Structure 1
Amino acid sequence: MKDFFQKLGKSLMMPISIIAAAGIFLGLASILQNPDIVGETFVSFTSVQNVIGFVRALAGALFGNLPILFAVSIAIGMARKEKPTSAFSAVIGFIIFHMTLNYILALNGYTVETTSIDYLMGQGMTELEATQVNAQYETVLGIFTLRMNVFAGILVGGLVAALHNKFYNIELPVAISFFGGKRFIPIITTVVVPLLGLIMYYVWPLFGAAIEALGNIIADSGIFGTFLFGFLERLLIPTGLHHILNQLVRFTPIGGIAMIEGEQIVGALNIFNTALAQDVLDFDLMASATRFLAQGKVPFMVFGLPAAGLAIIRTARSGEQKRVKGLLYAALLASFTTGITEPIEFSFIFVSPILFVFHALMSGLSFMLMDLFNVVIGNVQGGVIDLTVFGVLQGTETNWFFAVIVGLGYAFAYYYFFKYIIEKKNVQTPGREQLDEGQDVVINDDGNIGETIVHALGGVNNIEEIENCFTRLRLVLKDANIADEKALKETGAAGVVKIDDTHLQVIYGPQVEGIADKVKGVPGNEEK
């Protein structure tokens, strides 16, 4: 199980590195297109804004297609051999999964048109009921489907990887032998994935119904409801169901009902935007609406998560910190500036339930405290841009300074809690692979280190799988007991760790990736 989750964690880091960079571009584009920050004159430069808009669209496309990125990365990371075939099959599986859902939905009368809020209200539903139905669906790669976010990618990628590992070397009867081996993987994927889609068609709406019920509880629970909203909003991030919760509070009576200039306004975000457009701002009215909006996010997005990222960097080995900084600095800046948190959250939520639950609890507490302190910031993102534009620039009546004061406390809490848990539980966050006994690694490469290591491992025929993390060569052998530990250490390894009779790890430090490539380059190991 540990080996499985280590592979899963490593697989999840592949799309994270991309969206961390994309988050920076989104943040910069958001700033450069905001007249409250750069001025109306700069925003009026059409040619410049077109370029900025293009960059923003490209970065946004990566976030919009994050589920398929997860499907492919997990299929690659979890496959033992023939990884390109696994990736190819994951794309097929992802499309088939959502096409299955799309087809079943259409058979039951659910389409983009029949699930739109206007259509549903025309059929006699209230705005709340219509919004609840509409929030359960989305369009992925142009396919109308259930809203499952990255959870769909994880499910499909995991299933494809399991099928791949079981059948990639299957031998079929001579008459159909052409379809055996790796060619069989897309075929079995096409057969099995629709069954997963069928199951999820009936199972996933149950989760959505549970979220709707919780939304009603939140609306009737006062200050505790605010806490519950913040807690669940973060806890549901990996599943995508947080979108349902957000839609409910932003656009339905669950988020509030207000009379503004004789017109009834429904939903927290609608109330905030309408009140913001008035000549005289009613901060009491806005405070009631914004308790579900960006103000609750500021303490953990601007202060808490960047501090958590710093803790992850600081707890990495000194030899790994440069690499980890390259990954996380972009993620921290994205969270700080625009409230785009997925790049930093996905670096720990799948590898440490303790850190994930702590983060969700602190999120709930943040929303509750902002409500108690009557903070009025509004909008939906929660980064320093929202803090500045909708808080600081609106004056002290927004009580924005409470968000900063609480945020500073969050920075210390996140940093020290993350640092303690990571070190205490040896959480496998980036850069956490430690060298045994602190030994220095000096690689003895005579030009044939790959062949030397293979020989020490018992030869090509004894090697089943070759992987590496930040510092360790991770091997699956037919028999780990015949490996020559002395010979391996003579190549410069700091240590050899035998997990069991088939799993062996050789510690080489930051140079391990190059060494792994040389071992895979030995004839017979190309697909391992």
Structure 2
Amino acid sequence: MPASRKQRVTLWEFFQSLGKTFMLPVALLSFCGIMLGIGSSLSSRDVITLLPAVGNPVFQLIFTWMSKVGSFGFSYLPVMFAMAIPLGMARDNKGVAAFSGFVGFVVLNLATNFYLTTKGILPSADPLVLKANNIQNILGIQSIDTGILGAVIVGIIVYLLHERFNTIRLPDALAFFGGTRFVPIVTSVVLGLCGLVVPLIWPWFAAGITGLGRLIHDAGIFGPMIFGTGERLLLPFGLQHILVAIIRFTEAGGTLDVCGREVSGALTIFQAQLSCPTTHGFAESATQFLSQGKMPAFLGGLPGAALAMYHCAKPENRHKIKGLLISGVVACVVGGTTEPIEFLFLFVAPVLYLLHAVLTGLGFTVMSLLGVTIGNTDGNIIDFVVFGILHGTATKWYLVPVVAAIWFVGYYAIFRFAITRFNIKTPGRESDALPVATPARSGSKSGYNVPEILTALGGAANIITLDNCITRLRLSVHDMSRVDDAQLKAHRAIGVVHLNEHNLQVVIGPQVQSVKDELDSLLRQQPTASDSTPLTV
């Protein structure tokens, strides 16, 4: 590809990049959820009655502090998305992009407040007026609550403005305002104008999201299954975050009155109930889309599939794949990260992956039918303990091990039959000896031989852009023929996904951030060829 021609970004790639930016606030949400879950459960009256020692005033102060800190992520979620999107998508000057995201979000709400005030709707404390116009207090500003969707729109607009204007050159008299300083300035103007339009167009957006929520609700018991299966099917393409965000943070995931406030989105409802002192128990309509649905597959099914792959491997290869499978199971059960296992069979047996997606969706429906109410995001053992066991038998946590055991046996039987019957080349069944990766260089924090990974990617001169999500490197390259998939896998890459002639993803696993950082360091030491386009980090 000629260096002079800018690489064209397809809609598919744009949404991949957008979904990746969701990971920063979602990772914080996961941590905040655990803090809030532990704090709220150990300060509850039921737990204190059962364990009087935790009623000690010092302990209660600690638990209350944990609840307060944990509630932060959910109180300021929209503004975090508005900042994280331009931060993650910007090519250069990411700090300016994030700052401009904050500016844009605030200005949008100030302009909306101005419009409502001019129309005589605000100021008002009448709850009927506020509800009729969907008005909430946002960062101290009375404005229309556009939720996560509004924040995503702000983030995208700011990103586009940043890419267009962050290198702008102004006349000498105005040069001080040029370059990166111009980005928050133009953001203020553009988002200020957008804020005047929000009251006119937002009812249409809200109606669309409500219609999607009604569609899911009308699906009845199949609603959670459609969501769970869809999320797994989108995962190989890196697009699952879009669907997840819609269900977790918008009206599509349900709307409920919690502590006198109307809350929308499955995860938002769950977290609001966690922090509301007058709420007892969790809404099944919200938790049916959350952690509990993943637990049959994550805690039972995939470990069963891993054991089947181990037993189906050639005896002489079992010791070589044992560490790979164990680390994959630990990442899945403890961290809720499934790709290290899923990518072991995704490419060699897509039908098995399709069946896994359906069984994951079925797990969502079964948990919902059983009335289990365990929330949060990850579906791992931490969520099971913090949001299940610690909140008492009302969550019906005791049903999870039973269903997980059934899924374990089912996955094991299905995978073992399919692998042996159709001679599927899962790890350890290859005709040739398994490749042995060379040791990581001294001082490597990731534990991977990153210089060899860079060589397998075609060298520094072949890389156009480099980024990562939760488990994979996301790259654009000049020449895809220079990428050596076999060598990448020999150096412990779990899988390689070729999206088109210039874009690929390399599945690394939980240590992907360290691998990306070391690659970034190598690229700075070995600058790309003079005809290459700038690196995106």
Q: TM-score, normalised by structure 1?
A: 0.57
Q: Does residue 1:38 correspond to 2:48, yes or no? A: yes
What letter corresponds to residue 161 of structure 2 in structure 1? Answer: L
- Give 1:473-484 correspondences, 5 Å limit: 474-475=475-476, 480=479
Distance 2:507 2:290 in 1: 41
Contact 2:254 2:285 in 1 (8 A): no
Distance 1:168 1:353 in 2: 44
Aligned partner of 1:21 among 20, 31, 35: 31
**Identity %, equivalent residues:** 24
Q: Does residue 1:73 correspond to 2:66, yes or no? A: no
Aligned partner of 1:300 among 269, 273, 293: 293
Q: Does residue 1:82 correspond to 2:93, yes or no? A: yes
Distance 2:400 2:491 in 1: 50
- Give 1:356 shift: 9.9
Distance 1:390 1:445 in 2: 46
Contact 2:301 2:407 in 1 (8 A): no
Distance 1:215 1:493 in 2: 44
Distance 1:83 1:387, change over 3 A: closer
What letter corresponds to residue 516 of structure 1 in structure 2? Answer: D
- Give 1:504 shift: 8.1
5+ residue gaps, structure 2? 1-9, 228-242, 263-272, 310-320, 338-352, 377-382, 415-433, 445-449, 529-533
- Give 1:82 shift: 1.6
- Give 1:204 shift: 3.0
Distance 1:313 1:103 in 2: 58
Distance 1:91 1:274 in 2: 33
State the SS of the aligned residue for 1:170.
coil
Contact 1:472 1:507 in 2 (8 A): yes
* Deviation by residue 1:52-79 (Cα, 9 ceiling, x = unmatched): 1111101111222222222222212211
- Aligned partner of 2:150 in structure 1 is 152
What letter corresponds to residue 38 of structure 1 in structure 2? Answer: I
What letter corresponds to residue 84 of structure 2 in structure 1? Answer: S
Aligned partner of 1:520 among 519, 524, 529: 524
- Give 1:85-234 correspondences, 5 Å limit: 85-110=96-121, 113-114=124-125, 116=127, 120=128, 133=132, 136-209=134-207
Distance 1:20 1:181 in 2: 36
Distance 2:103 2:436 in 1: 46
What letter corresponds to residue 102 of structure 2 in structure 1? Answer: V
- Give 1:245 shift: 2.3
State the SS of the aligned residue for 1:246.
strand
Contact 1:23 1:330 in 2 (8 A): no
What letter corresponds to residue 23 of structure 1 in structure 2? Answer: G
Distance 1:15 1:93, change over 3 A: same
Contact 2:460 2:527 in 1 (8 A): no
Distance 2:442 2:363 in 1: 49
Q: TM-score, normalised by structure 2?
A: 0.57
Aligned partner of 1:10 among 20, 26, 32: 20
State the SS of the aligned residue for 2:142.
strand
Q: Does residue 1:58 correspond to 2:59, yes or no? A: no
Distance 1:178 1:274 in 2: 54
- Give 1:372-387 correspondences, 5 Å limit: none
5+ residue gaps, structure 1? 124-129, 253-268, 277-285, 333-351, 418-436
Contact 2:294 2:360 in 1 (8 A): no
Contact 2:224 2:288 in 1 (8 A): no
Contact 1:211 1:241 in 2 (8 A): yes
- Give 1:182-331 correspondences, 5 Å limit: 182-209=180-207, 236-241=246-251, 245-247=255-257, 300=293, 303=296, 329=334
* Deviation by residue 1:368-388 (Cα, 9 ceiling, x = unmatched): x35xxxx6x889999777876
- Give 1:408-423 correspondences, 5 Å limit: none
Distance 1:231 1:518, change over 3 A: closer
State the SS of the aligned residue for 1:81.
coil
Distance 1:37 1:88, change over 3 A: same
* Deviation by residue 1:298-320 (Cα, 9 ceiling, x = unmatched): 95276567668979999999779
What letter corresponds to residue 163 of structure 1 in structure 2? Answer: L
CA-based RMSD of the aligned residues comes to 6.2
Distance 1:86 1:216, change over 3 A: closer
- Give 1:329 shift: 3.3
Distance 1:441 1:192, change over 3 A: farther
- Give 1:48 shift: 2.3
Distance 1:143 1:22, change over 3 A: same
Distance 1:485 1:294 in 2: 43
How many residues in Structure 1 have an aligned counterpart in Structure 2?
427
Distance 1:501 1:190 in 2: 38
Distance 1:387 1:54, change over 3 A: closer
Distance 1:505 1:388 in 2: 38
Q: Does residue 1:48 correspond to 2:59, yes or no? A: yes
